[in-house]
Structures are given as structure tokens and as C-alpha cells.
Amino acid sequence: MTFLRDTWIIFSRSMRLSIRNPIWVVIGLTQPILYLALFGPLLKQVVSSTPGLPPGDAWQIFVPGLLVQLGIFGAAFVGFGLIAEYRAGVIERQRVTPASRIALLSGRVLRDVVVLLVQAIILTVVAVPFGLRAPIGGVILAIVVVAALGAAFASLSYAAALRLKSEDALAPLFNGLAIPILLLSGILLPMSLAPTWLRDVADVNPLKHVVDGVREFFTGNITSSTGLWGLLCTLGLVVVGTWFGTLTFRRESA
Amino acid sequence: MIQARKLSRTFKTRTGPVQAVRGVDLDVEKGEIVGFLGPNGAGKTTTLRMLTTLIEPTAGEATVAGHDLRHDPVGVRRNIGYVAQGGVTLDIARAGEECVDQARLYGIKPATAVARGRELFGQLDLDGLWDRNCNSLSGGQRRRLDIVIGLMHTPALVFLDEPTTGLDPQSRANLWEHILRLRNDQGSTIFLTTHYLDEADYLCDRLLVIDNGTIVSAGTPEELKSQVSGDAVTLTLADHGRAQDAVSVLSGLEGADTPTVDGDQVQVHVPKGGAALPGLLRELDGKGVDLAAVEVRRPTLDDVFLSLTGRSLRDEPAA
């Protein structure tokens, strides 16, 4: 089965190139760190005086949102890198080899997951001096969820990139989706603060359940139903992302 | 090495279906250098991409390097090399690592790949460039790197899509020699596409002329040229008034077509211009027709293309 070997080859190539050009790793972290440093402190006041919030202190409520944000948006932009590779003729060069078509996707996604894990750990560690206190088991589970989300969105990003083949088409797609997703997932403030109609709309968004689940993990509550829901939604997203990504990489004109 | 029958490919576009390739039949023997000659848009690259399993034919069958295109594409891929038209390397990657990464996808161990890569670098004048970033190479070097990448796994059959497009004349001539050496020293079979007549003439054992998705003619460059009406003999008269006399002499030549007059130039096509010339000059002299100049031109592939399709290859926009 050449799939595993080919995935490893693509992964080691992608990882090597990323390490040589780590600027994107740093940029991916900038947004969450800015939110952490400049928006997070405002929440302490909000949390202590507002009813209707989920359990936990300001940081236990806010950092999960940031981690999910990292998992989604950190991964969503990898498509641009693929378009650059496509233009350079690299994708076609790899497709003309006997390598497994799916390995061309999975090797890259694996690299993105590794980068994401590093970023997630850095983000969590940086939050500690700001005041984050969370049980280690919950944090580990949360980071696993982030990695899985990253895999899902990286696959979707690569699929979109390969189909559209143009940065001009890809950018509006992401930017158009980014804001609604952000606002309907409860990343900045929990949706439990929302009026009923808004909460019902958000309930359709699987990412909202993921954020709620990760918040549960951060308070040490690993076995709650909310947490389970969050995990299921994550799994669902991974399945959809991988399926769509695989389909696109098998397609001929890709 | 390649047998294709009725290979076709239709693209669905917003403005309706486009038949890029219509029923192409091809045969390429081992050790041949075969050229696909045609203007831009003729279907060369599409045919190549079908033969290299990058896109699926809408109709037709083919066996490439001993493997069936539809039923064993992986088998085909193992045995072919492909060098795409626009280049295959990433700017920020290093020359050597691009080669090794490619070789590994064929199952070659890293150490073997490095040795093979360095050997090819030597053969294609790329010594000392192993650790350089691909974007720091010159056009010719980068093209040769593309070819090295296509050859890392020592394929018996190599596809080159417009190998010298965009290169300066020196790099082109240099690359031609490397391509010839590929066949002469390694016994590789080479299938290349080009819209350059001099390239097709110099490199190819056989040519397939393609226009509008179909093959309009096939044969060696000499065969194709001899199918055209012959050598062009052009007389520049010292006195336009004698044009009709010149015409009557020229029409008398064996195998001549109808002479054409253009100002002070009279032109005719004859099978062997060089041989006809001495007798022609004597006759014209005898009739007192003074000449300012005489030119005998052998047919070019452009003449071949013109006679086959009614269009000149040179009329097409430059690549």
C-alpha cells in the first residue's frame, strides 16, 4: 500500500518547506494572540457581572473560542499555498507519478495539523500568564479537537483551492464565510448570552457545539453531553472535509 | 512504446463543448524520437496529457509503455517521464531536493535518489546547483532541471511538452544535444511536442502534424517535405519587361508548377531545383533574359504545414 509511504513523503517535503519559511506559522498565530492580549482582559469584567454564561472564569470561557478560531482559520488559508504549488506545476508533477492521489492531500493536511498543534500549544501556554487555569486532561482533549478541526478545514481549503485554482476566487469565498461562522459559533462571547432566535440559528452551526464542548473540557468536565456533542460535530466535520478533499484530488483536471 | 487508437477529448466549457482532440491514432516505436508538430491550440498538450494519464480520454484506447491507459494508469505512470510545458519546480524549493522528492514518489530510496540526481546534474550541465533555490536558476538551467526531474526514475519513455519554448537560441541548441544524447546513450524513447520547425527538423526521426485536433500527416521530416511541391526557384529579373519570357522558360522545366510573377520576381516549384539550375540559366541567357539574382530554396516544414492545412505555422501567434 503506497498510501502511507506517499503520505510520509509529501508530509516530509511540506514540513521541510514550512520550517524553512516559518513566517506563515507566525502569522497564523498573530490573530489569536492579539485577541488574547487585547480583547481577553475586557472579558474579566463582563464574566464576573453577567448572568447566563457557561461555567468557568473569563479565560476558561474565552481561550476555547480562540483555539477553535485557530483550528478553523489557521487551516482555512492553506488553500492559497496549494494554488501557488499548482501554478508552479508541482501538483501535476506529483500526479504523473504512481503516488496515491489521496496521499497528495493527506501529506499536506498532516503538515497543517502538526503546525496547528504547535500553534495551539503556544497559544495555551501564552494564556497562562494572562490568568488561564485549566485541567491538563481537558486541555489535551481540546487540542486534539483543534487538530481534528484543522484537518477538516485544511482538506476543505485544499479542495476549494484545487477546484477554483485562483486566489481571486478563493479569498472572497473564505472572507464571506469567516464572519458569519465567527459570530454564530460563540467564539468571542458564548451563544448562551443570545436571545432565543439567535441561539436557535447558532444551534445549526456545528462549530457552535464544538466551542461549547471545548469550554466544558476546560472546566474539567470531560464526560458531559455537551462535550460529547462537540466531539461528534468535530468528527462529522472531519468526515465531510476528508471526503470532499479526497473527491477533488481524484478528479482529473485537478 | 505507444499505440493509440481514436484518442479523443472533449471539454465542456461555458460556451459549449470544445473538441480539443478528435480521433488521434499514434504509433511510436522504442528508441524513436517522435515529434508532435502543430500550431498553438492544435491539441498537442491535451493529447500528451491523455497519454500521461493526467486527464481521461472521452473516447479511444491507448497502450503506453506496455500498460493500458484506462485499466492500468499506475503502470503507465511508473514507466514514463513527463516534463510539462510551464515548468515543474517550486521557487522556494532547492534544486536537489525537488529531484529527490520526485524520485521518492517512485519508490526510490533517498540515498539512491541523491546519487542519481547528482549524476543527472552532471550530464545536463547543472553541476554546483544542487543546493540553490529554484528561482535563482536561469531559464535554461531551470528547464534542464525540469528534465532531470522527469528522468530521475530512468523511464523508458519520456514526454517533453514544448521543451525549448521561451529559451534563448544557445540554450535551445544546448538542450537539443542533451535530448539526442538521451536517446543515443540511454536508448530512451522520446515523444515531444513543438511548434518550432527547426526543432522538429533537427531532433525528430518522425513527425506527426496535428491541426485542429486531428493528425493531418505523418512521416520523417524528409518524407513530409518531399510531399510538398518541391524546391522553390526564384528569379529576380534585371528587366521586368522580360517576365513573360522568364515564365515560358520556367514552365518548360520538368515537373514545374505554374510560375508566379511578383514585381520583378518570378517563382516556380520544381522537384530538384539544384539540378535544374545550370540548364535553366543557360536557356535564359540564350534568350537574352538578364537576371539580377537567383535563389533555390528547399521546402521547409512551414511549406509542409501550408500545403497540408492552407495555413502557415508562422501565422500563429508566438508562444
d(CA B41, CA B20): 8
Q: Which residues contact B308 (CB under 8 A, 6 or more apart)?
A: B209, B211, B216, B217
Average pLDDT estimate for A141-161: 93
Residue among A89, A96, A253 whose CB faces B87 most closely: A89
Tell me whether residues A89 and B86 touch, CB distance under 8 A: yes
Residue among B50, B90, B147, B148 with most chain A CBs within 10 A, to mutate: B90
CB-based contact (8 Å) between A92 and chain B?
A: yes
- pLDDT at res. B129: 95
Is 80 exceeded by the pLDDT of residue B314? no
Task: Tell me the DSSP string of B165-221.
Answer: TT--HHHHHHHHHHHHHHHHHH--EEEEEES-HHHHHHH-SEEEEEETTEEEEEE-H
Cβ proximity of B140 and B184 under 8 Å: no
Predicted pLDDT at A253? 58
Residue of A nearest to B93 (CA): A17
Listed ranges B4-8, B163-167, B250-254; the one with the highest mean pLDDT: B4-8
Q: What's the whole-model pTM score?
A: 0.85
Q: Cβ of A15 under 8 Å from any chain B Cβ? A: no
What proportion of chain A, given as a percentage, has pLDDT over 70?
98
Residue contact A92–B53, C-beta within 8 A: no
A98 touches chain B (CB under 8 A): yes
Mean predicted confidence (pLDDT) in A210-220: 88
DSSP A162-209: HHH--HHHHHHHHHHHHHHHHHHTTSSS-GGGS-HHHHHHHHT-HHHH
Query: Which residues are paired to B16 by β-bridges?
Result: B13
How many cross-chain Cβ pairs, A to B, lie less than 8 Å apart? 61
Q: What's the pLDDT at B319?
A: 36
Distances (CA, A) of B229 to B233, B261, B296, B310, B314: 12, 17, 14, 14, 19
- Give the angle subtended at the CA of B52 by the CAs of B50 and B53, to the nearest 5°: 65
Residue with cell 482555512: A76
Query: Residue B51: its pLDDT value, please?
Result: 95
Burial class (CB in 10 A: 0-12, 13-18, 19+), A82: buried
Q: What pLDDT does residue B317 have? A: 41
The closest alpha carbon to B123, from B168, B167, B164, B184, belongs to B184
Please indicate whether, in this complex, the C-beta atoms of B88 and A95 are within 8 angstroms of each other.
no
pLDDT per residue over B36-57, tens digit each?
988 878 888 899 999 999 999 9
Percentage of chain B lying above the pLDDT 70 cut: 97
Q: Is the pLDDT of residue A158 over 90?
A: yes
Find chain A residues with C-beta within 8 A of B113's C-beta.
none
Question: What's the mean pLDDT in A184-191?
Answer: 86
Q: What is the mean pLDDT of residues A166-177?
A: 85
Q: What is residue B232's three-state secondary structure?
A: strand
The answer to whether A29 and A123 have CB atoms below 8 angstroms apart is yes
Cβ B185 vs Cβ B165: under 8 Å: no
Return the pLDDT at B264.
86
* Interface check A19 vs B, CB under 8 A: no
User: Per the CB < 8 Å rule, is B107 touching A2?
Assistant: yes
Q: Are B316 and B40 in contact (CB under 8 A)?
A: yes
Q: Look at residue B242 and tell me whether its pLDDT is greater than 90.
A: no
Name A37's Cβ contacts closer than 8 Å, sequence gap at least 6: A130
Q: Tell me the C-alpha distance between A113 and A119, whole Å.
A: 10
Chain B residues with beta carbon closer than 8 angstroms to that of A253 = 55
Hey, are the CB atoms on A96 and B77 less than 8 Å from each other?
A: yes
Contact B91 A88 (CB under 8 A): yes
Chain A neighbors of B107, CB-CB under 8 A: 2, 5, 98
Q: Is the pLDDT of residue B318 over 70?
A: no
Average pLDDT over residues A99-107: 92
Q: What average pLDDT does this structure show over B123-131?
A: 91
Q: What is the mean pLDDT of residues B179-197?
A: 89
Q: Which three cell numbers stand for residue B298?
A: 528547399
Task: Name which of B87, B88, B106 is nearest A98 (Cβ-Cβ).
Answer: B106
Measured between CB atoms, does A84 come within 8 Å of chain B?
yes
- A13 Cβ under 8 Å from any chain B Cβ: yes
Question: Tens of pLDDT along A46-96?
Answer: 777 777 777 778 888 889 999 998 988 888 889 999 999 999 999 999 999
Lowest mean pLDDT among A189-193, B124-128, B160-164, B307-311: B307-311
| Mean pLDDT, range B20-37, rounded to an integer | 92
Which range in A114-118, B194-198, B245-249 is most confidently predicted, on average pLDDT?
A: A114-118
Out of A16, A85, A92, the one facing B54 most closely (by C-beta) is A92
Looking at chain A, the whole-number percentage of residues with pLDDT higher than 90 is: 40
Report, in angstroms and rounded to the nearest whole number, the Rg of chain B calculated over CA atoms.
24
- Interface confidence, given as ipTM, is 0.85
Contact between chains at A88 and B74 (C-beta distance less than 8 A): no
> B315 pLDDT exceeds 60?
no
Shortest distance, CA B120 to any CA of chain A (angstroms): 18
Q: Do B88 and A85 touch (CB under 8 A)?
A: no
Can you give the pLDDT at residue B166? 81
**Per the CB < 8 Å rule, is A252 touching B92?**
no
Phi and psi torsions of B219, nearest 5°: 155, 180
Most confident of A176-180, B90-94, B222-226: B90-94
Contacts of A101 in chain B (CB under 8 A): none
* Cα dihedral B162/B167/B170/B171 (nearest 10): -70
pLDDT of residue B313: 63
Give the whole-angstrom CA distance, residue B229 versus residue B235. 18
Interval A6-39: pLDDT, tens: 999 999 999 999 999 888 778 888 888 888 888 8
